[in-house]
Structures are given as structure tokens and as C-alpha cells.
């Protein structure tokens, strides 16, 4: 396997894992007694900003250093496509931070009916934006995981291992289809791979 292709696949997988980790750090929406802290949300916005910058660096590096006929176009496309959902997640968390500031500023007004309605609305916005951030980070991670497999498909050994089972045969979601074409080798010639 081409070492550049392997490097691209590993870089894409690492970035996908970073977005999965960010998704795991998101506060759980729907609990009015456990609002996320302003500090935690600000840290996550900062971390997403760094990841967006890393995506840009990956695109720039591969765009500047690509060799003619290289397979890096798929990696460039994958990193570029992840910017949008990660930007959406950061934007949603920015809205969460704004609503948290509003709740802090109106804490002393919690007995007034008009303030209660506005504070409840802020809680709903927080829940919605946390859901938006979660979905966007899942989209970014899933697309990068798929791209890493497309850039560097599983080896024939891995596909064979997936095909072996000790249970009765039935289709599974993990089965990887065999390549559409298999290379043909003349009968008189022996080919060895490294």
C-alpha cells in the first residue's frame, strides 16, 4: 500500500476520533437543573476552533504538496467537507454560551413572570443548540470515518476475517463487499507481494 495513502487514512481517522471525543464532551440536553457551565462551553468552542484550524492545515498541506496523479484529492475533499458541520457545532455552542450569559444576568429576576418565560425559552434554546452541536459533530465524525475507509479500504485479510464466523451464516452490517474486479495473473507467472 502506498505510504501516502496510509498516512492520509490515518490522519482522517485521527480527525474523526477527535470529533467523536468532542461529541462525547457535550453536556446532555434536557436537564434544567444541570445546565452546562460557561467555562465548559467556552473551552469546547475553543477546542472546536483549533480542530477547524487543523482541518484547514490538513487541506493546505495536501493541496500544496500533492504529487501528480496522487490519491490525496479524496483526503482534501474529506477534510474540506468536515469544516461545515464543525462550524455548525461551534456556532451552536456559541448560542448556548449566549443563552447561559442571559440566564446568569437574569437570575435575580427569576420571580417575575415575564422573566420566567424568557428564562424557560433560553433553556429550550440551549437544549436545541446542544442537539444541533451533537448532530453536526456526529456528521463530521461519521463522514471522516467513511472517508478513511474509502481512502484505505480494509485489507483482504481483514475482509476474510469478517467473512469467517462460528455462527450460522447470515448477512451482517459489518460485512465488507469484495472488490468488484479481481486482478488476473497469467498462469505461467507467479506474483509475490510484500
pLDDT digits (tens, 9 = 90+) for 10-60: 899 999 999 999 999 998 776 656 788 899 999 999 999 999 999 999 999
- Provide the residue range defining the domain that includes 92: 3-157
In-domain check, residue 52: yes
Please state the domain count of the chain: 1
Is pLDDT larger for residue 158 or for residue 143? 143
Average pLDDT, the chain: 79
The answer as to whether 174 is a domain residue is no
Q: Is residue 57 part of a domain?
A: yes
Q: How far is Cα 27 from Cα 30, in angstroms, rounded to an integer?
A: 9
Largest CA distance in the chain: 90
Enter the pTM of the model: 0.72
E-strand stretches of 98-182: none
Asked whether the predicted pLDDT for residue 158 surpasses 80, the reply is no
Report the interhelical angle of 3-25 vs 72-105 (nearest 10°).
10
In a domain, 61, yes or no: yes
Distance CA 28, CA 184 (A): 54
- The Cα 100–Cα 40 span in angstroms is 11
Confirm whether 87 is domain-assigned.
yes
Do the domain assignments include residue 50?
Answer: yes
Residue 89 lies in a domain: yes
Backbone Cα Rg of the chain: 23
Assign 139 to helix, strand or coil.
helix
Structural domain contains residue 193: no
Amino acid at each position: 500500500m502506498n505510504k501516502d495513502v496510509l498516512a492520509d487514512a490515518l490522519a482522517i481517522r485521527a480527525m474523526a476520533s477527535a470529533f467523536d471525543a468532542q461529541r462525547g464532551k457535550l453536556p446532555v440536553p434536557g436537564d434544567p437543573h444541570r445546565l452546562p457551565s460557561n467555562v465548559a462551553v467556552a473551552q469546547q468552542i475553543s477546542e472546536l476552533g483549533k480542530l477547524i484550524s487543523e482541518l484547514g492545515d490538513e487541506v493546505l498541506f495536501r493541496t500544496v504538496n500533492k504529487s501528480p496523479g496522487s490519491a490525496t484529492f479524496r483526503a482534501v475533499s474529506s477534510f474540506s467537507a468536515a469544516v461545515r458541520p464543525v462550524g455548525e457545532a461551534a456556532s451552536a455552542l456559541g448560542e448556548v454560551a449566549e443563552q447561559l450569559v442571559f440566564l446568569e444576568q437574569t437570575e435575580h429576576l427569576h420571580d417575575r413572570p415575564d422573566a420566567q418565560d424568557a428564562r424557560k425559552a433560553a433553556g429550550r434554546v440551549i437544549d436545541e443548540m446542544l442537539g444541533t452541536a451533537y448532530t453536526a459533530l456526529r456528521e463530521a465524525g461519521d463522514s471522516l470515518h467513511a472517508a478513511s475507509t474509502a481512502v484505505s479500504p480494509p485489507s483482504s485479510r481483514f475482509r476474510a476475517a469478517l467473512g469467517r464466523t462460528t455462527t450460522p451464516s447470515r448477512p451482517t452490517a459489518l460485512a465488507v463487499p469484495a472488490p468488484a474486479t479481481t486482478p488476473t495473473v497469467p498462469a505461467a507467472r507467479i506474483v509475490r507481494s510484500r
